[in-house]
Amino acid sequence: MLSASPSESQIAAAITVRRMIEAALAESPASLQAATVATSAGELITGAVARITEDGARWTATLSDLDQPGLVASMYFSAGLRDVILRLADGRRARARITGTTFSASSSRTCELVGIEPLA
């Protein structure tokens, strides 16, 4: 049995939702991609998903889905690790500073970075 064609109001609602999504994507300068974080000496700390927000040469990153969340927390809180190297899946990399790390049951551990140098 064929389903009924969508009504005009359903089509209008779908167009409205699509426009809202497109506007949100256009306004958001953030991009998601796979990343790794290493010490300034090059030792791998963790893999993660990075949400990068760029504003000219300045950038910040929120890391989630960390491969080694306990290691990140331990190095941040116990060892005082702050300066790291962020490597992105698109080949760019830069030195960054960890500005904080948080844990919540709903989103697990996240880590906030601010760029020390431009991503290149």
- Establish if 9 belongs to a structural domain: no
- Establish if 51 belongs to a structural domain: yes
Q: What percent of the chain has pLDDT over 70?
A: 79
Say whether pLDDT at 88 is over 70: yes
- Establish if 87 belongs to a structural domain: yes
- Establish if 105 belongs to a structural domain: yes
List the domain range (segments joined by +) for residue 79: 29-115
Number of domains in the chain: 1
34-45 burial, b at 16+ Cβ within 10 Å, e below that, comes to ebbbeeeeeeeb
Are 98 and 115 within 8 A, CB to CB? no
**Mean pLDDT in the chain?**
85
Q: What is the pLDDT of residues 16-68, one digit of tens each?
A: 766 665 555 555 556 889 999 999 999 999 999 999 999 888 999 999 999 99
Q: What is the CATH number of the domain that holds 61?
A: 2.40.10
Alpha carbon 37 to chain centroid, angstroms: 12
Query: What integer is the mean pLDDT of 86-111?
Result: 91
72 C-beta neighbours (distance < 10 Å), count = 23
What is the rounded CA–CA span in Å between residue 119 and residue 59? Answer: 8
E strand intervals along 44-107: 44-55, 58-64, 83-88, 93-104
